[in-house]
Amino acid sequence: MTSCAALFISAPSSGSGKTCVTAAIARSHARRGKRVRVFKTGPDFLDPSILERASGRPVYQLDLFMGGFAHCQALLAEAAREADLILVEGVMGLFDGNPSSADLAVAFGLPVVCVIDASAMAQTFAALATGLQRFRPELHHCGVIANRIGSAAHGRMLSEGLPDDLPLIAALPREPKLILPERHLGLVQALEQPRLDTQLDAWADAWEAGLRPGLAFKPQAFEANTEPPLPPLLQGRRIAIARDAAFGFIYAANVDLLRALGAELSFFSPIRHEALPVCDALWLPGGYPELHVEALGAHPTLAAALAGHVAAGKPLLAECGGMLALLDSLTDAAGDTHRMVGVMPGRAHVQHRLAALGLQAIAWPEGPLRGHSYHYSTLETPLAPIMRASNPNGGNTAEALYQQGSLRASYVHHYFPSNPEAIAAFFRG
């Protein structure tokens, strides 16, 4: 059993400021020399990029569906052995989804604090906070954070009516200059924000100024569970991975898994016109190819290299944006059509409304995998799916899995630790 101070940061809804508050706490502690490990609940690539910059450490997902209890337990136990503080940011509202943030907090006994947007609220703040506290009695709420307050007097008003066992931990001001830029899939990636470190320090300053006396991060016990070592199923295999602003949707756990399986990894940037490395297999993760069509189209060797890779029968996994880059054409949200690589027949159209969202379970020929889907584009292709995913929550999203020779493509962002053997079998070819 290992102990470490820990806090689960949730909210009544998306948009309340969970990421900003989590990043503020992380940066506040990290710049004082504390070792901070941050986790994100559920599938997400954008918030973790901000939280990684704030804490200075990679951010991993905790998801009871994609990874399972034992996997999440192992990640927390590993973090507890090396950190002074563990922060877990929730997803959506505290009780939203299945599994929900509340389910995860209960599973690991994590103390919860809710961030509430108080910008248009007074005494009702206490009613909302106590309602969240009492909805599931097995949750331990250690306090509440008021976000976007108008003044110190507003902050004092918000604390009125809170019970003694649910103190106002902090009151943070409404400050437009601290708002992070967003686009259609969420926050702008950390690597695209040149002023992010300045903002993170400003958030930390606001947290320290708004913190009420008496907050203590209490040690939590984490069972020292470690997952069994993986056999080196990919020993001697070199896997190339596209990684830049166009292909940035990469779970840290996926990279760790490939290395644990013995693979040698070689990263390259298509939008910086780096050549495809010599490799045995290739992974094109999701991202924003639609925002970088000119750079991709001007790459002098990419199209031929990808076509040659597939023609040689080498495995290529293309996920979501990685799949869009391989198509014949892509029409962006402005209606402009762009020629793409042309390795996979079909065309896609980026629309202004959400096309699909949800957790996904999918049966690969090598075995079942889990992941999620979240995209604004639609796809037309003559390829027939070899399999369709299912949504564990019964939603409409059921993504297709396509296969053409050694190319496998889908809108699904796969979570590799959900089936290491299947991943190894595919990349072995």
The whole-angstrom distance between residue 195's C-alpha and the CA centroid of its chain comes to 21
In which element (H, E) is residue 321 found?
Answer: helix 321-326
Residue 320 annotated among the catalytic residues of the structure: yes
41: left (phi over 0), alpha (psi -120 to 50) or beta: beta
To the nearest 10 degrees (0 to 180), the angle between helices 124-135 and 152-159 is 50
Q: Where are the beta strands (DSSP E) in 285-366?
A: 316-319, 329-331, 337-339, 347-350, 356-364
Spot the catalytic one: 72, 142, 279, 320.
320
What contacts 225, CB < 8 A, 6 or more positions away? 70, 73, 74, 77
Q: How far apart are CA 74 and CA 80, in angstroms?
A: 10
Backbone CA torsion sign across 321, 326, 332, 338: positive
Is 363 in a helix, a strand, or coil? strand
Q: How far apart are CA 277 and CA 273, in angstroms?
A: 12
Largest CA distance in the chain: 69
Catalytic annotation, residues: 320
